[in-house]
Amino acid sequence: MAEMWVNMGPQHPMTHGLWNLRVKVDGETIVDAEPEVGYLHRGIEKLCENRTYPQIIPIADRLCYGSSMTWSHLYCMTVEDLTGLEVPERAEYIRVVAIEMQRIASHLMWLAAYAGDLGLSVGFTYTMRDREVFVDLFQALTGGRLTYNFPRIGGVAHDLPPDFDRDAIRAVDYMEKRLREYEDLFDRSKIFMMRNEGIGILRKEDAMNLGVTGPSLRASGVSYDIRKDAPYSVYPEMDFEVATHKDCDCYARYKVRMVEMWQSCRIIRQAIAEMPKGKWRVVAPRTAPEGTGLGRVEDPRGEGMMYVVGDGTDRPYRLKVRSPIFVTVSAAPKILVGYKLADVVAIMGGLDMCIGETDR
C-alpha cells in the first residue's frame, strides 16, 4: 500500500467530539499527522464581552462538557481576582469538594471513552455506571447533571443539601472499591497492557516545550500540579500527593489519572471532615474595576487559565480562556509518528480530548 492520508474525523468514533486528525499512513504505520480543530467554535470569548458577570457563569460551564464545574469555578476565581473579593471559607471548602468530585467524574468519563476506544466494553459501561454516583451527588448539590452552574462570584449558589456529607463519604467509599476493580479490569489484563506499554512516548523535554500540561505532563515525569505548586482555594490545607509517572507512555498517562482519582477521594474526605460552618456566599459587586484578573486551576485535563480585563462596567472588556487541550493537541504529531494506526485511538484517547474547551 502506498502512503495515503486518512481523515480521522470530524465524524469519527475516535475523536470524541468534532475535530479532525489527518494521519498519513504507510500501510498501518503513521508517518505524519496533522490535527485540525475549530469545528465547534462557538465564540465564547466574544459572547462573554456582551454578558454581565453573573450571566457568564452558565457559559463558562459549557466550555467543557466533561468538567463544567472546574471551568465555572475558574471563571468565578478570575473575577474574584479582578474585583478583589474575599470568598467565605465554607464556600471554598464546598468548591473544593465539588471540584474534586468533578475531577473523579471527568476522569471516569475519560476512562470510559478510553476503554471504549480500546474495545473494552465493560470498561465503558462500568465507569459510566460509577460516574453516575457522582452525577447523582451533583444533582443533589447543584440541581444539574452536566452543566452545574454552581459556583458564584463570591461563593457558591447553595449550601450543602441535607445528608450530603454522608452521601459524599459513601460515594467515595464506593469509588475506592471500584478503583480496585478497575485495576483488575485494566492493569491486570495482558491485552490492555500490550496496547498501552511503550505506546505514545512523549519525552519530558518535549512535553514541557510543547506546552502539554496536566496528567499528560505528569506522566512524562514532571511533578507539577497547580494545586500544589501555585495553590489556590484551600488546597494548601489539604494533604495529598501529586501523581507522577516516569514511563512517558500511554500506560503512564492512564496510571497518573487513576492515582489522581485516589488522591481526589482523599481530598474529598478531608474537605468534608474539615468543613467549617458559616456563610457560603457574599454579595458580589455588580461592576468590576478597571484592571486585569488572572485565574489558574488544575483542570482534569491540564492547566486551565483565564485572563479577564475589566473596564469598570458590569461586562468584561476581554475574557481569554486558556484551554489545556488546545495546546496539547498540537503536540499530537510529535507523539503519533512511528506508531500503528490502531495506536492513534490509544494515544489520542490517553490525552483526554474535550472539544468544547478546545474550540471555545
Q: In the complex with another protein, which residue's Cβ is closer, 245 or 301?
A: 245
- The residue (of 31 and 287) whose beta carbon lies closer to another protein is 287
How many whole angstroms separate alpha carbon 307 and alpha carbon 311?
A: 13
Confirm or reject binding of residue 213 to another protein (CB under 8 A).
Answer: yes
Binds another protein by CB under 8 A, chosen from 185, 271, 272, 297: 185
Please pick, from the candidates 22, 24, 266, 320, the single residue that binds another protein as defined by CB under 8 A.
320
What does DSSP assign to residue 160? P
Q: Which amino acid would we find at residue 153?
A: I
- Contact positions with another protein (CB under 8 A) in 274-313: 281-287, 294, 296, 303, 305, 307, 309, 313
Give me the least distance between CB of 354 and another protein, in Å please: 15
For CA atoms 204, 28, 341, 20, give the dihedral sign: positive
Which residue, 159 or 273, is less far from another protein as judged by CB?
159
Asked whether position 134 contacts another protein by CB under 8 A, the answer is no
CA distance 305 to 346: 27
Three-state secondary structure string covering 104-154: HHHHHHHHHHHHHHHCCHHHHHHHHHHHHHHHHHHHHHHCCCCCCCCEECC
When computed from its CA atoms, the radius of gyration of the chain, rounded to whole angstroms, is 20
Q: Which three cell numbers stand for residue 33?
A: 499527522
**43 touches another protein by CB under 8 A:** yes
Closer residue to another protein (CB): 273 or 327: 327
Position of cell 461563593?
155
Contacting residue, 87, 210, 248, 297, with another protein by CB under 8 A: 210
Smaller CB distance to another protein: residue 128 or 275?
A: 128
Q: Segment near another protein (CB under 8 A), from 92-100, 169-177, 245-253, 270-278? A: 245-253
> Cβ of residue 59: shortest distance to another protein, in angstroms?
7
Q: Which of residues 248-267 bind another protein (CB under 8 A)?
A: 251, 255, 259
Residue among 322, 85, 346 nearest 201 (CA): 346
